Amino acid sequence: MSQYKHMPTNNPHNPTNESKKCLTRILAAIDLSFLNKTDHKLFLSRVEQHFPSLFDLLLQVYDKHYDLHYHLQQLVETLASNFSQRKARLKKKDKQRLADPLWHKSEQMLGMACYVDLMAGDLAGLLEKIPYFKELGLTYLHLMPLYKSPEGDSDGGYAVSDYRCVNPTLGTTKDLQRLAEALSDEGISLVLDFVFNHTADDHAWAKAARAGDSEYQDYYLMFDDRRMPDQYDATLREIFPSVRRGSFSYLPDIDKWVWTTFNNFQWDLNYGNPAVFRAIVDEMLFLANLGCDSLRLDALAFIWKDLGTVCENRPKAHALIKAFNSCLQIVAPAVVFKSEAIVHPDEVVKYIAPNECQLSYNPLLMALLWNSLATQKTRLITQSLSHRFEINPHCSWVNYVRCHDDIGWTFDDGDAAHLGINGYNHRLFLNQFYTGRFEGSFALGLGFQENPENGDCRVCGSLASLAGLQQALERNSPELIALAIKRILLLNSVILSIGGVPLLYAGDELAMLNDYSFQADPHKVHDARWVNRPLITQEALNLAHQTGTPQYAVNVGLRKLIAARKKHPVFGNASTQILRTGNDHCFAYLRMAENGERLLAICNFSALEQSISADILHNLLPAREVTDLIEHNPFVIDFSKPIKLGAYQVIWLYLKV
């Protein structure tokens, strides 16, 4: 019997056969005459290529739906209509990117994230900032959510009222399209948010649900009483415990409970309903067709819920994200996904794959950089990254020192235990340290979402304030100021060289301090993350241009690092090996490019001078003469003498082929 099992042909239950049959039926039933001849041909070839996986993935998620065929047909129609809307210049980009899928690995890549209003007032103002972005070297710009959202608190735009409408205070959809083109002409990729775990409670679907339309109530996760919410709450992690306990909000007007992972006004979508998948694909492709190069998959870990679990990182969430990616491959293959999974490192990497998310935030590196600064030790970063940094070679990390959100301590307790560190206690220490409550700390951050039940807490603050500049300025201490500048440059040096797309948060390049003005705004006061989202003022820009200021030192230092990065392919598509230096205060890694170039980066995370034995460099940098890309000196390694690094010093030893 078993010999027949593997025979692929003519097996009616062979999934490839099934998908072929299904597609043939769908194509026979739908009208594609609105596509011109060339488009028709291209669309069919892309569908034929990607439908089998799409079919397979959706079957995994929706196997219990008797009407799946109907939904698949609707989906193909949605894909075709979005394909017909895709502009010629974007189709050209699709071709280019398909031919150069590793574009994000280039040493030219440099990213920034900013809020349109805080950076430039509105989209028209942002157009005028392009020369500034270019001069800084940006090739990637993430605009924080700029869609229509509720007035007052909208979670910084992460409550979307209408994906197809730009927030009127920022401009119009036309302005956004114009900006996308202008950025693209200047070689800057636009990144937009795809907020698909939830909508605002005033989205048209939510309004219909509230008006009693059961079709739209099924777009969300609504319950008539507390029975199911209680069962789910028993195993859920609370994301915003200071907003509300548990993950459900009561709607008195319709006497129902609705699932709200984040704020009460952000209703989680019900992906158990295939109509929701199709509807969101439609919104996603609309965004892709505006001309962005990447979509940031907001809160992607939360999209699938399984009773009795923590409802994060579920297998069906992965199937759905892959299915979204297949749709993108059919209509807008120039666009890549960026994963925003701020979860356990074992789970972060599961989203990273060419057919899932080609890019991913690297929250582990972020957390461990701050850990290294606080402890002045590098054992945990070395231990963790030595087995966690490598990812699929077709994908890239997005390395950042902080973003618009809080900093969570997402390292693995096992990695910590391996070094005799108790993860739970260590997180308490880090929270104390970065909120300035630890004796001797240089950091001035704010606590975020402290959970009274388990003591869990995260930290908010700008790069400069967390790295000690604010305290140093308050104390008017030149020595402390000098140390803070070094810490800021140290962290930036790592994200610029370790491998991946470096992503700055706007204002950090100007060493801007915490902005406490949110405390006077009733819509923001409860959300400490606003402390690290400063308004970019002319004054801040001037300070960074004024010789002698710490802001100037940071800005100039950063620009030097960026310039060095852009000059050498070894900062781009190259492998990374995390090294053990024999000194617990130093972190080091070796990068090797295919052309033979090598870069050895050594970072001293302590405020005291450190030395490491040059002996260990023997095999790494076989030549004695290398270049220090930071000091711009030829660097002669004397293998019999230790290499010395000053407080927080970084050296980049470069070996040409």
| Window 408-437: contact mask with ligand GLC (x via CB under 6 A) | x-----------------------------
Nearer to ligand GLC, 94 or 340 (CB): 340
Distances (CA, A) of 408 to 8, 176, 384, 461, 638: 49, 32, 16, 12, 41
- Contact present, 571 and 565 (Cβ < 8 Å): yes
Choice between 287 and 485, CB closer to ligand GLC: 287
Phi, psi of 64 (to 5 degrees): -85, 0
CB of 292 to ligand GLC, least distance (A): 17
Binding mask 237-276 for ligand GLC (x = CB under 6 A): --x----------------------x--------------
Looking up tokens 């060289």 gives: 497
Stretch 463-482 residues interacting with ligand GLC (CB under 6 A): none
Are 643 and 637 a contacting pair, CB within 8 Å?
yes
* C-beta of 406 vs 509, nearer to ligand GLC: 406
Q: Which two tokens stand for residue 632?
A: 């711009």
Per CB under 6 A, does 299 bind ligand GLC?
Answer: yes
321 near ligand GLC, rule: CB under 6 A: no
Asked whether position 572 contacts ligand GLC by CB under 6 A, the answer is no
Pick 198 or 591: Cβ nearer ligand GLC:
198
Between β-strands 625-628 and 633-636, what pairing exists: parallel, antiparallel or unpaired? antiparallel
Q: Which is nearer to ligand GLC, 43 or 262 (CB)?
A: 262
Pick out residues in 220-239 that bind ligand GLC (CB under 6 A).
239
Q: Does 332 bind ligand GLC (CB under 6 A)?
A: no
- Please, which residue, 423 or 569, has the CB nearer to ligand GLC? 423
Residue owning tokens 């103002």: 125
Pairing type for strands 359-361 and 396-400 reads parallel
DSSP state of 1: -
Of 342 and 416, which CB lies nearer to ligand GLC in the complex structure?
Answer: 342
Q: How far is the CB of 299 from ligand GLC (least distance, A)?
A: 4
Degrees to nearest 5, angle at CA 644 with 377 and 501: 60
Interface residue with ligand GLC, options 175, 238, 406, 508 (CB under 6 A): 406
CA-to-CA distance for 469 and 466, rounded, in angstroms?
8
Residue 647 · residue 604 · CB < 8 Å: yes
The 8-class DSSP code of residue 363 comes to H
Catalytic residues: 298, 340
User: Is the separation of the CB atoms in 464 and 512 below 8 Å?
Assistant: yes
Q: What is the DSSP string of 585-643?
A: TEEEEEEEETTS-EEEEEEE-SSS-EEE-GGGGTTT--SSEEEETTTTEEEE--TTS-E
Which amino acid is it at 292? Answer: C
Which one, 183 or 299, has the nearer CB to ligand GLC? 299
Residue whose beta carbon is closest to ligand GLC: 158
Query: Toward ligand GLC, which CB reaches closer, 189 or 532?
Result: 532
Q: In 3-state terms, the chain is what percent helix, strand and coil (to 5)? A: 45, 15, 40
Within 376-419, residue ranges assigned H as helices are 379-388, 413-418
405 binding ligand GLC? (CB under 6 A) = yes
State the nearest-atom distance from the C-beta of 203 to ligand GLC, in Å: 13
Q: Using the rule CB under 6 A, give the single segment among 227-235, 405-413, 465-473, 546-554 that binds ligand GLC.
A: 405-413
Residue 245 to residues 22, 58, 229, 309, 452, Cα–Cα distance (Å): 46, 34, 12, 18, 10
Shortest approach of ligand GLC to residue 630 CB, angstroms? 33
- Residue 619 CB contacts under 8 Å (≥ 6 apart), including other chains: none
Q: How far is the CB of 448 from ligand GLC (least distance, A)?
A: 7
| Integer CA distances (angstroms), 619 to 144, 252, 447, 600, 623, in order | 45, 69, 45, 12, 9
* 140 SS3 class: strand
Q: Which of 122, 153, 298, 456 binds ligand GLC (CB under 6 A)?
A: 298
CB of 340 to ligand GLC, least distance (A): 6
What does R_g of the chain's alpha carbons equal in angstroms? 26
Tell me the residue length of the chain. Answer: 657
Q: Which stretch binds ligand GLC (CB under 6 A): 269-277, 339-347, 539-547, 644-652?
A: 339-347
What are the tokens at 627?
């270049």
Site for ligand GLC in 141-160 (CB under 6 A): 155-156, 158
Give the nearer residue to ligand GLC in terms of CB position, either 155 or 293. 155
Q: How far is the CB of 328 from ligand GLC (least distance, A)?
A: 20
- For the bound state, the minimum distance from the C-beta of residue 614 to ligand GLC, rounded and expressed in Å, comes to 41
> Which phi and psi (to 5°) does residue 538 adopt?
-60, -35
Q: Are 40 and 32 in contact (CB under 8 A)?
A: yes
Output b/e per residue, 326-338; b: 16+ Cβ within 10 A. bbbbbbbbbbbbb
Q: How far is the CB of 164 from ligand GLC (least distance, A)?
A: 18
Mark 100-139 with x for binding to ligand GLC (rule: CB under 6 A) and - for no binding: ----------------------------------------
CA 382, 383, 385, 391 torsion: positive or negative? Answer: positive
Q: How far is the CB of 111 from ligand GLC (least distance, A)?
A: 15
Is the Cβ of residue 156 or residue 550 nearer to ligand GLC in the bound state?
Answer: 156
- What character string, x for contact with ligand GLC (CB under 6 A) and - otherwise, covers 180-219? ---------------x------------------------
Binding-site size, ligand GLC (CB under 6 A): 14
CB 103, min distance to ligand GLC, A: 25
Which positions touch ligand GLC (CB under 6 A)? 155-156, 158, 195, 239, 262, 298-299, 340, 342-343, 405-406, 408
